[in-house]
Amino acid sequence: MCEADPKRGLKVIIDPRRCIANAKCTTVAPGIYVLDEETGVAVLENEDQATVEQLFAGARACPTQAIIIEQFGRRVFPRILPPMFGESEDGDATKSASDSTEE
């Protein structure tokens, strides 16, 4: 029997600039999302043991969309990722600085 792995191609990215360390993700998926003791921001732990439901539950619980889930290189959550203050529309905080160096 061959069952498709629902985590196939899945990649979880936690944007430390968006994380406000309110521990919503660690509450809904304890042991999977944890707050880093030094930086205070959320990090992913035990990714191998995490279920798809736990990964998405943490991402859904995040009020700042700091947890981004991609599958095969395409963002699947959140559907809409609003730019942060000071960030360009495509989400690249460094782009506007480099764009202004045109000659």
Q: Which residues bind ligand SF4 (CB under 6 A)?
A: 14, 19-25, 33, 42, 61-62, 64, 66-67
Q: Which is nearer to ligand SF4, 51 or 96 (CB)?
A: 51
Taking the complex as a whole, how short is the minimal distance between the CB of residue 71 and ligand SF4, in angstroms? 19
Q: Which is nearer to ligand SF4, 91 or 98 (CB)?
A: 91
Q: Which is nearer to ligand SF4, 53 or 99 (CB)?
A: 53
Q: Which is nearer to ligand SF4, 38 or 102 (CB)?
A: 38
Taking the complex as a whole, how short is the minimal distance between the CB of residue 3 and ligand SF4, in angstroms? 30
Q: In sequence order, which residues have a C-beta less than 8 Å from that of residue 85 and are 6 or more positions away? A: none
Write the DSSP assignment of 17-44 as a string of letters: TT-----HHHHHSBTTEEE-TTT-SEEE
Please choose, from the candidates 8, 67, 76, the residue with its C-alpha nearest in 3D space to the C-alpha of residue 32.
67
Amino acid making up residue 54: Q
Taking the complex as a whole, how short is the minimal distance between the CB of residue 76 and ligand SF4, in angstroms? 17
Rounded Cα–Cα distance for residues 48 and 37 (Å): 21
Taking the complex as a whole, how short is the minimal distance between the CB of residue 101 and ligand SF4, in angstroms? 32
Q: In sequence order, which residues have a C-beta less than 8 Å from that of residue 82 and are 6 or more positions away? A: 65
